[in-house]
Amino acid sequence: MFTATTDKRVAVFLAEGMEEIEALTVVDLLYRAGIPCETVSITNSNVATSSHDVSIVCDREIGDTRFDFDDYDMIVLPGGMPGTTNLGECEDLTDQVRRFAADGRQVAAICAAPTILAKLGLLEGRRATCFPNLQDVLVENGATLVQDEVVVDGNITTSKGMGTAIPFGLAIVAHYLGQQTADDLARKIVYGC
């Protein structure tokens, strides 16, 4: 049973062709930590299909008239291709990503998805990382490239890819509930032990 440990809410946005491990690892870790989290489809359906043909039934749809970005404290963008391209082409989403970043609200992106933030001009002068084959996009858009698994710079968190999905999710847990809680959760899931 889910027991919320905070009133902060996270939205993980799913597009056709996303990397399901990067999305669902975050959802799983936040659930275990008691952080309310919902998956939001940017398609015209509540189902989004990953780059590996895994269909995920989302909690919400971005086009639903009842959907409101202001219900959330953080936007999370998983990577994958063509998922990242599809997320980047969703104007409703990118407009809100800009607004969240400008307002000092939390934005997190993993794998190829930090390139969306770079192209929006949100990483200029910031430390960031992403999937190794796409790091030039970050540099070309003014980011200071860091080779850490997860990079937190102010209100923006970035990570490298599927293999760093657990530390990425744990960084989000640490943001809301503190490093000790994240460390305790890592031990409970036998991560890094």
DSSP-derived pairing of the beta strands 106-110 and 74-77: parallel
Q: How far apart are alpha carbons 166 and 149 in whole angstroms?
A: 10
Tally of CB atoms within 10 A around 82: 15
Which spans in the chain are helix H? 20-33, 83-88, 91-102, 114-119, 135-140, 165-177, 179-188
Determine whether 111 is an active site residue: yes
Active-site residue, from 37, 58, 90, 111: 111
49 Cβ contact list (under 8 Å, min separation 6):
16, 17, 55, 56
118 Cβ contact list (under 8 Å, min separation 6):
128, 130, 137, 138, 140, 141, 142, 143
Phi, psi of 103 (to 5 degrees): -85, 0
Residues in the chain: 193
Tally of CB atoms within 10 A around 128: 29
Task: Give the active site residues.
Answer: 111
